[in-house]
Amino acid sequence: MMIAKIHVTLKGSVLDPQGTTITKSLNSLGYDEVRDVRIGKYMEVKIDTTDRKIAEERVTEMCEKLLANTVIEKYEFELVEA
Amino acid sequence: MMIAKIHVTLKGSVLDPQGTTITKSLNSLGYDEVRDVRIGKYMEVKIDTTDRKIAEERVTEMCEKLLANTVIEKYEFELVEA
Protein backbone atom coordinates (compact mmCIF):
# COMPACT_ATOMS: atom_id res chain seq x y z
CA MET A 1 0.00 0.00 0.00
CA MET A 2 1.23 3.47 -0.86
CA ILE A 3 0.04 6.95 -0.03
CA ALA A 4 0.31 9.74 -2.59
CA LYS A 5 0.61 13.10 -0.85
CA ILE A 6 -0.64 15.56 -3.44
CA HIS A 7 -0.47 19.36 -3.38
CA VAL A 8 -2.68 21.26 -5.80
CA THR A 9 -1.98 25.00 -5.88
CA LEU A 10 -3.00 27.90 -8.07
CA LYS A 11 -0.47 28.86 -10.72
CA GLY A 12 1.51 31.95 -9.75
CA SER A 13 -0.22 34.20 -12.25
CA VAL A 14 -3.73 33.31 -11.04
CA LEU A 15 -5.44 35.60 -8.54
CA ASP A 16 -6.29 34.01 -5.19
CA PRO A 17 -9.23 35.92 -3.68
CA GLN A 18 -9.57 33.43 -0.83
CA GLY A 19 -5.93 34.03 0.08
CA THR A 20 -6.42 37.79 -0.10
CA THR A 21 -9.36 37.53 2.29
CA ILE A 22 -7.33 35.50 4.77
CA THR A 23 -4.44 37.96 4.51
CA LYS A 24 -6.81 40.80 5.42
CA SER A 25 -8.39 38.80 8.24
CA LEU A 26 -4.99 38.01 9.73
CA ASN A 27 -3.90 41.64 9.41
CA SER A 28 -7.06 42.85 11.15
CA LEU A 29 -6.48 40.30 13.95
CA GLY A 30 -3.15 42.01 14.60
CA TYR A 31 -0.85 39.83 12.50
CA ASP A 32 0.58 42.77 10.58
CA GLU A 33 3.64 40.79 9.54
CA VAL A 34 1.54 38.64 7.18
CA ARG A 35 2.17 39.86 3.63
CA ASP A 36 0.48 37.26 1.47
CA VAL A 37 -1.47 34.00 1.73
CA ARG A 38 -1.94 31.45 -1.03
CA ILE A 39 -4.47 28.67 -0.61
CA GLY A 40 -4.21 25.21 -2.08
CA LYS A 41 -5.55 21.73 -1.63
CA TYR A 42 -3.81 18.82 0.00
CA MET A 43 -4.87 15.25 -0.67
CA GLU A 44 -3.73 11.91 0.64
CA VAL A 45 -4.66 9.13 -1.74
CA LYS A 46 -4.21 5.57 -0.51
CA ILE A 47 -3.31 3.26 -3.37
CA ASP A 48 -3.26 -0.51 -3.32
CA THR A 49 -0.02 -1.14 -5.18
CA THR A 50 3.62 -1.86 -4.49
CA ASP A 51 5.03 -0.72 -7.83
CA ARG A 52 6.27 2.82 -7.41
CA LYS A 53 6.71 3.48 -11.12
CA ILE A 54 3.17 2.44 -12.02
CA ALA A 55 1.83 4.36 -9.02
CA GLU A 56 3.57 7.51 -10.26
CA GLU A 57 2.03 7.16 -13.71
CA ARG A 58 -1.44 6.49 -12.31
CA VAL A 59 -1.35 9.38 -9.84
CA THR A 60 -0.16 11.74 -12.58
CA GLU A 61 -3.16 10.65 -14.65
CA MET A 62 -5.55 11.13 -11.71
CA CYS A 63 -4.23 14.65 -11.19
CA GLU A 64 -4.57 15.52 -14.87
CA LYS A 65 -8.06 14.04 -15.18
CA LEU A 66 -9.79 14.79 -11.91
CA LEU A 67 -7.80 16.22 -9.03
CA ALA A 68 -6.37 19.38 -10.55
CA ASN A 69 -7.68 21.90 -13.05
CA THR A 70 -4.47 22.25 -15.03
CA VAL A 71 -5.63 25.45 -16.74
CA ILE A 72 -5.20 27.38 -13.49
CA GLU A 73 -3.64 24.90 -11.08
CA LYS A 74 -0.39 23.01 -10.78
CA TYR A 75 0.18 19.83 -8.82
CA GLU A 76 3.01 17.92 -7.27
CA PHE A 77 3.07 14.75 -5.26
CA GLU A 78 5.28 12.35 -3.41
CA LEU A 79 4.72 8.65 -2.80
CA VAL A 80 5.32 7.12 0.60
CA GLU A 81 4.95 3.53 1.74
CA ALA A 82 1.93 3.13 4.00
CA MET B 1 10.93 37.10 4.86
CA MET B 2 9.70 33.63 5.74
CA ILE B 3 7.05 31.36 4.32
CA ALA B 4 4.99 29.13 6.60
CA LYS B 5 3.82 26.04 4.73
CA ILE B 6 0.76 24.94 6.64
CA HIS B 7 -1.23 21.71 6.31
CA VAL B 8 -4.69 21.59 7.84
CA THR B 9 -6.26 18.15 7.77
CA LEU B 10 -9.27 16.51 9.35
CA LYS B 11 -8.58 14.53 12.50
CA GLY B 12 -8.49 10.80 11.86
CA SER B 13 -11.79 10.12 13.57
CA VAL B 14 -13.71 12.72 11.52
CA LEU B 15 -15.64 11.59 8.48
CA ASP B 16 -14.48 13.09 5.17
CA PRO B 17 -17.44 13.02 2.74
CA GLN B 18 -15.50 15.03 0.14
CA GLY B 19 -12.75 12.41 0.22
CA THR B 20 -15.30 9.61 -0.06
CA THR B 21 -16.79 11.26 -3.14
CA ILE B 22 -13.39 11.57 -4.78
CA THR B 23 -12.59 7.94 -3.95
CA LYS B 24 -15.79 6.86 -5.71
CA SER B 25 -15.11 9.15 -8.67
CA LEU B 26 -11.60 7.75 -9.10
CA ASN B 27 -12.88 4.19 -8.80
CA SER B 28 -15.53 4.82 -11.44
CA LEU B 29 -12.90 6.34 -13.74
CA GLY B 30 -11.08 3.00 -13.61
CA TYR B 31 -8.63 3.69 -10.77
CA ASP B 32 -9.68 0.65 -8.81
CA GLU B 33 -6.48 0.65 -6.80
CA VAL B 34 -7.57 3.78 -4.92
CA ARG B 35 -8.71 2.74 -1.45
CA ASP B 36 -9.18 6.03 0.37
CA VAL B 37 -8.81 9.78 -0.13
CA ARG B 38 -8.50 12.37 2.61
CA ILE B 39 -8.81 16.04 1.74
CA GLY B 40 -7.09 18.89 3.52
CA LYS B 41 -6.04 22.46 3.02
CA TYR B 42 -2.59 23.73 2.20
CA MET B 43 -1.61 27.32 2.85
CA GLU B 44 1.51 29.32 2.20
CA VAL B 45 1.68 32.35 4.47
CA LYS B 46 4.38 34.91 3.73
CA ILE B 47 5.57 36.56 6.91
CA ASP B 48 7.74 39.65 7.20
CA THR B 49 10.11 38.50 9.92
CA THR B 50 13.55 37.00 10.32
CA ASP B 51 13.09 35.57 13.81
CA ARG B 52 12.19 31.91 13.46
CA LYS B 53 11.16 31.46 17.07
CA ILE B 54 8.73 34.37 17.04
CA ALA B 55 7.42 33.28 13.63
CA GLU B 56 6.69 29.81 15.03
CA GLU B 57 4.73 31.25 17.95
CA ARG B 58 2.78 33.63 15.71
CA VAL B 59 1.91 30.99 13.11
CA THR B 60 0.76 28.62 15.86
CA GLU B 61 -1.54 31.39 17.11
CA MET B 62 -2.87 32.05 13.60
CA CYS B 63 -3.67 28.37 13.15
CA GLU B 64 -5.43 28.17 16.50
CA LYS B 65 -7.43 31.37 15.98
CA LEU B 66 -8.29 31.45 12.30
CA LEU B 67 -6.74 28.90 9.97
CA ALA B 68 -7.83 25.62 11.56
CA ASN B 69 -10.94 24.48 13.35
CA THR B 70 -9.18 22.58 16.10
CA VAL B 71 -12.34 20.76 17.14
CA ILE B 72 -12.20 18.65 13.98
CA GLU B 73 -8.93 19.59 12.32
CA LYS B 74 -5.24 19.30 13.09
CA TYR B 75 -2.48 21.43 11.65
CA GLU B 76 1.22 21.27 11.12
CA PHE B 77 3.61 23.68 9.48
CA GLU B 78 7.20 24.25 8.53
CA LEU B 79 8.98 27.56 8.11
CA VAL B 80 11.25 28.20 5.14
CA GLU B 81 13.29 31.27 4.26
CA ALA B 82 11.79 33.10 1.28
CA distance B60 to chain A (A): 12
> Percentage of chain B surpassing pLDDT 90?
99
Instruction: Reply yes or no on whether the pLDDT at A18 is more than 90.
Output: yes
**pLDDT value at position B60?**
98
**Measured between CB atoms, does B5 come within 8 Å of chain A?**
no
Among residues 14-43 of chain A, which lie with CB inside 8 Å of chain B? 19, 22, 25-26, 29, 31, 33-43
Nearest CA in chain B to A67: B22
* Distance of alpha carbon A17 from the chain centroid: 17
Contact present, B5 and B44 (Cβ < 8 Å): yes
> A-chain residues within 8 Å CB-CB of B7?
42
Tally the domains of chain B: 1
| CA B12 to each of CA A22, A47, B73, B74: distance values in angstroms, whole numbers, following the listed order | 26, 18, 9, 9
State which H helix or E strand residue A2 sits in: strand A2-10
Q: How big is the A-B interface in CB pairs under 8 Å?
A: 96
- The model's pLDDT over B24-62, given as tens digits with 9 standing for 90+, comes to 999 999 999 999 999 999 999 999 999 999 999 999 999
**pLDDT value at position A70?**
97
**Measured between CB atoms, does A48 come within 8 Å of chain B?**
yes
- The model's pLDDT over A38-60, given as tens digits with 9 standing for 90+, comes to 999 999 999 999 999 999 999 99
Q: A82 pLDDT band (50/70/90 cuts)?
A: confident
Nearest CA in chain B to A40: B42
Whichever domain contains A11, its CATH number is: 3.30.1280.10
Of A34, A42, A49, the CB nearest to B42: A42
Look over chain B and give the mean of its residue pLDDT values, rounded to a whole number.
Answer: 97
Residues with Cβ within 8 Å of B16's Cβ and at least 6 positions away in sequence, in order, are B10, B37, B38, B39
Instruction: Reply yes or no on whether the pLDDT at A68 is more than 90.
Output: yes
- DSSP-derived 3-state class of residue A32: coil
Nearest CA in chain A to B19: A43
Instruction: Reply yes or no on whether the pLDDT at B82 is more than 90.
Output: no
**pLDDT value at position B27?**
97
For residue B30, give the nearest of A1, A66, A24, A15 by alpha carbon.
A66
**pLDDT value at position A25?**
97
Instruction: Reply yes or no on whether the pLDDT at A29 is more than 90.
Output: yes
Q: Are A41 and B42 within 8 A, CB to CB?
A: yes
ipTM of the modeled complex: 0.90
Look up the domain containing B63 and give its range: 2-81
- DSSP-derived 3-state class of residue B27: helix
Instruction: Reply yes or no on whether the pLDDT at A73 is more than 90.
Output: yes
